Amino acid sequence: MGAATSDAPRAWRTVLEHIEQQLLDGALRPGDRLPGERALSAELGVGRSSAREALRVLEVLGLIRTAAGSGPNSGAIIIATPGGGMSALMRLQVAASGFPVADIVRTRLILESSVAGDLADAAPAADLSAADLLLDAMDSPDLAPTEFLALDAAFHLALAEASGNQVITATMAGLRSGIEGYALEGVSAIADWSATSTRLRTEHRGIVEAIRAADAATARSRTHDHISGYYAETFPPSSPSGPSAPTATPSPASTTPESPA
Amino acid sequence: MGAATSDAPRAWRTVLEHIEQQLLDGALRPGDRLPGERALSAELGVGRSSAREALRVLEVLGLIRTAAGSGPNSGAIIIATPGGGMSALMRLQVAASGFPVADIVRTRLILESSVAGDLADAAPAADLSAADLLLDAMDSPDLAPTEFLALDAAFHLALAEASGNQVITATMAGLRSGIEGYALEGVSAIADWSATSTRLRTEHRGIVEAIRAADAATARSRTHDHISGYYAETFPPSSPSGPSAPTATPSPASTTPESPA
DNA sequence: TAGCACGTGTGGTCAGACCACAGGAGGGAG
DNA sequence: CTCCCTCCTGTGGTCTGACCACACGTGCTA
């Protein structure tokens, strides 16, 4: 042995597909332990290194968690944490120029505006306590920009989580990771951080307020303006991010009032 | 050697971070060739298998393309094809129950409605020729459901591409992949395929028509209804996809006419 | 009975060896 | 001089075997 017999597909792909199939069949469920690497490779007739390559992919994608040692917590365990995989994907794609930053911002605009609107419309009012906590934490007067930004990201994510849509939550986590580097850089472009953070805090509360008031249109437009405003300030005029400006995206409810009056 | 000295982070992660850093620094750009696996591992002081694990991750994430042999086309080459990675991620997350199908559909609703609206509002009218071609192809009377569905997916993707937002395009490709299996299964749940496909064709043309007429609100609502309608038909009442029905999401412009009259 | 030492299995990593393949360099035939 | 064929080289792809660090369980010991 030692080589691919030409007609066979890549060995690691075999492993990946095998596990995917078992997941689809229900033979493998979240919380379950995968066979050990040695067993898995023997079972599928591939080398351990090939099996490991597949497991590595699953790990980065957020499907499994691995731990050495013995006992029930060791080995590869199925977990579905899409956020991690999404973050890695977005981050690397941005690094490789596959995702223009402007497109990420535009996508945030769409997703978050929609989330805010849905939250306001939610029949049984969504639980915003997590967001409230973050809002309070952000009021600490002596927060470094980095800390503030982390709380800010967590706040936006908390809204997504409150909406209950796991796909959007994971996507937003990924989008945020993708532009995290730029966000940190951007802080230096802000003239008066104190004023900016105060404004951001006010806008955050305004969004939550609109959601609580079940005013979807306002929640949407405030979210849109909040995000586009921040990026307009962070990425001054000639940001080499892409051909068009992030704020160019017409939001579903930004300039269109359609107020509930 | 042969083992991790406990304090060191995982070797493959070292490789991954090294490459990411080079991408961020601009030392590595799309189209460039990575060092060979042997050189890379030597350079970073890790084993070749560890370097390979990192490369495998990059490959699945759509960042590199690998080819054996020699010459300029061999080796690992930086490519930024987010769609592939996104598809793998979504597909596996769905398989692992990390992404409820209902959430994926809801996300499609948001993204595609928004795309259709933006397309209609686009200052220089977007190029819809690719979508037109697919529309014509879908008119072939003797298309198998599978073929029709493939064209249908391509049509929706073409609209996203026309919008020029690469993040949305890749995300939509991923979302589609995630529910592809369910879509194929769902065909059998459709009583009169001929009638359904005719309806879908009509709806598609209606969407494009609204976009061409620069009627954003109609484009949005038609897109929303098109998608939610299809899934309502494909996943009859008691689909075990999630706690709430996909159509429960209030679209920005679905039931709210705000017609241009 | 309480505590500790050892065995065992797991992931993590490395080193070395082949294979298949694609391309280029070189020599030989025309 | 030109063209074609052959061999060589480098690349990814894979397998095997080995060792390390670690966490757990078992069972012996005090």
- pLDDT tens per residue across span B181-221: 998 888 888 889 999 999 999 999 999 999 999 999 999 99
The percentage of chain B sitting over the pLDDT mark of 90, rounded to a whole number, equals 78
Task: State the smallest CA–CA distance between residue B90 and chain A in angstroms.
Answer: 8
The percentage of chain B sitting over the pLDDT mark of 70, rounded to a whole number, equals 87
Q: B229: closest CA among B203, B255, B205, B256? A: B203
Chain B 74..133 CB hits on strand C (< 7 A): 74
Residue whose token pair is 């269109």: A256
CA–CA gap between residue B199 and residue A119 (Å, rounded): 32
- Give pLDDT tens digits for B147-169: 999 999 999 999 999 999 999 99
Q: Report the pLDDT value the prediction gives residue B237, as an integer from 0 to 100.
A: 53
> B79-114 in b/e burial notation, b at 16+ Cβ within 10 A?
bbbbbbbbbbbbbbbbbbebbbbbbbbbbbbbbbbb
| Pick from B23, B53, B103: CB nearest A96 | B23
In degrees, to the nearest 5, what angle opens at C-alpha B15 toward C-alphas B9 and B21?
Answer: 105
CA–CA gap between residue A18 and residue A4 (Å, rounded): 18
Nucleotides of C under 7 A from a protein CB: 7-24
The domain ranges of chain A are 11-78, 83-248
Q: What's the mean pLDDT in A220-233?
A: 95
Pairing state between β A64-67 and A75-78: antiparallel
* Chain B environment of A164 (Cβ under 8 Å): 103, 244
CA–CA gap between residue A217 and residue A229 (Å, rounded): 18
Nucleotides of D under 7 A from a protein CB: 9-25
In the three-class reduction of DSSP (H, G, I as helix; E, B as strand; rest coil), residue B167 is classed as: helix
Q: Are B237 and B160 a contacting pair, CB within 8 Å?
A: no
Helices B166-186 & B101-121, crossing angle to 10 degrees? 130
Distance of CA B73 to the CA centre of its chain: 27
In the three-class reduction of DSSP (H, G, I as helix; E, B as strand; rest coil), residue B134 is classed as: helix
| Whether pLDDT at B72 is above 70 | yes
Average pLDDT over all residues of chain A: 89
Through-space separation of residue A108 CA and nucleotide D28 C1' in angstroms: 62
Q: What's the mean pLDDT in B225-238?
A: 83
Distance of CA A104 to the CA centre of its chain: 11
Strand nucleotide closest to residue B50 (CA to C1'): C13
Through-space separation of residue B111 CA and nucleotide D3 C1' in angstroms: 59
Instruction: Specify whether domain A83-248 bears CATH 3.10.450.40.
Output: no
Which range scores top for mean pLDDT: A143-147, A251-255, B112-116, B120-124?
Answer: B112-116
> Is there a contact between A56 and B58 if contact means CB atoms under 8 Å apart?
no
Matching fold, domains B11-78 and B83-248: no
CA–CA gap between residue A224 and residue A22 (Å, rounded): 42
Which CATH class name applies to A11-78? mainly alpha
* Chain B environment of A54 (Cβ under 8 Å): 56
Q: For B182, which residue in chain A has the nearest alpha carbon?
A: A24
| Whether pLDDT at A204 is above 70 | yes
Through-space separation of residue A31 CA and nucleotide D14 C1' in angstroms: 31
